[in-house]
Amino acid sequence: MNQTVTYNPTTRVFKATKAAANLPQTTQSALFTITGGRIRVLGIYGEVVTDIQAQANATKLISNPTVGADVDICATNDINGDAAGTIYNVTGTLSDAMVATTSGAVKDQASPVIVAAGTIDLSCAASNTGTTKWVMDYIQIDNGVTVA
């Protein structure tokens, strides 16, 4: 299985995990699929599992709703040559670039982002080798929402 969802009833926070996968090749590809309503994303984090190829690759996260137009969750960050262990996240301000750190720690997402039913996609401008895995913490806004 390449994805799991767990729930903490004390905090009401769900955690969806996406196993390591190759980067999208000059396109965007779904990381998480949201059905049945909206969620509040409290944090979304990626980690490089296999080194990223050393060539320019403007990369970002996109909310791709079932109804409506795509919205960038962050601006692009060049992931050129990022090493295994690099961590990616977003600030929660849609105009801020995706953050990357090689220090083994990253600041938590400052502002939640509300995402409608559809997908959260990883978008890559180039065709680079390398793999990433992702984790998303979220709260359901609407009853019956699922993330797969």
Express each pLDDT in 61-94 by its tens digit. 999 999 999 999 999 999 999 999 999 999 999 9
pLDDT in tens, 25-44: 999 999 999 999 999 999 99
pTM confidence score: 0.92
Question: Taking Cα atoms as reference points, which of 131, 147, 128 lies closest to residue 139?
Answer: 147
Is it the case that residue 1 has pLDDT exceeding 50? Answer: no
Question: Taking Cα atoms as reference points, which of 78, 91, 79 lies closest to residue 41?
Answer: 91
pLDDT in tens, 101-124: 987 788 889 999 999 999 999 999
pLDDT band at 49 (very low <50, low <70, confident <90, very high): very high
**Domains of the chain, earliest start first:** 3-147 (2.60.120)
How many angstroms separate the CA atoms of 45 and 99, rounded?
10
How many angstroms separate the CA atoms of 143 and 104, rounded?
36
pLDDT band at 19 (very low <50, low <70, confident <90, very high): very high
Asked if 64 and 115 count as a contact pair (C-beta separation under 8 A), the reply is no
pLDDT computed for residue 10 by the predictor: 75
How many angstroms separate the CA atoms of 146 and 5, rounded?
9
How many angstroms separate the CA atoms of 13 and 28, rounded?
27
pLDDT computed for residue 104 by the predictor: 77
pLDDT band at 15 (very low <50, low <70, confident <90, very high): very high
Question: Taking Cα atoms as reference points, which of 21, 78, 16, 84 lies closest to residue 47?
Answer: 84
